[in-house]
Amino acid sequence: MDGEPLTARAAAGDAPAPPLEGRVNPLDLLRAFAGRPAGGDLRRRLNRIEERAVSTAASTPFSDALITTLNSLGRRTAVVADNAPSAVWKYLQAHGRLTGLVTGGVHGRTDDLTRLMPDPDCLLRALEQLGATPEDAVLVGSSVAELTAAKALGLRFLGYTRSEPHRQRLVRAGCELTTSSWAPLLRALPNT
């Protein structure tokens, strides 16, 4: 994999789209190779990297409490991601009780890299498993790709941001509501 396909695409005026999140990340590479023979190899390599990274992945503060509280209130949750589903399940299993609380399943990256967000494929799969419509649900996300996928379905979106530049990037993309902590939401929910 010498990068020739990207060079050839750029020379032909078909350069990859600029990074969705303001910085290059591995998903941009997968998007660039979607539908190309090397795409499958890159996806499998990234799957292995993500699975290994689970042991050092930091959890978002209060996310466990939010999922637990929503479950206790009868709200079903699902996980949607452009990550390998195996890595997401491994993360949930490492956090004990969360596996049983995500009753809507994990809907992540498939073999078809053209379906990465902003394509709403994983959102549609989650809604179907939850038996919900976009009007009945909200997507909590942190990326422009997730926001764009939600907007395509008319799905409400709550942006989780870790910094002011991150928040500004989501707002510029049309995000109307952001938070940098789940603590205020937890305080606002009944019985918390």
pLDDT the model gives residue 2: 40
pLDDT attached to residue 11 = 44
Q: Domain segments of the chain: what residues?
A: 56-188
DSSP 22: S
Tell me the DSSP string of 111-161.
S-GGGSTTS-HHHHHHHHHHT--GGG-EEEE-SHHHHHHHHHHT-EEEEE-
The CATH superfamily assigned to 56-188 is: HAD superfamily/HAD-like (3.40.50.1000)
State pLDDT tens for residues 112-127. 999 999 999 999 999 9
Measure the CA–CA gap between 52 and 70, rounded to whole angstroms: 29
Q: How far apart are CA 109 and CA 153, in angstroms?
A: 18
Convert the pLDDT of each residue in 29-59 to its tens digit: 999 999 999 999 999 999 999 999 999 998 8
Contacts of residue 2, Cβ cutoff 8 Å, sequence gap at least 6: none
Q: Which long-range contacts (CB under 8 A, 24 or more apart) does 90-96 make?
A: 90/51, 90/54, 91/54, 91/57, 94/54, 94/55, 95/59, 95/64
Mean pLDDT of the chain: 89
Residue 106 has a pLDDT of 97
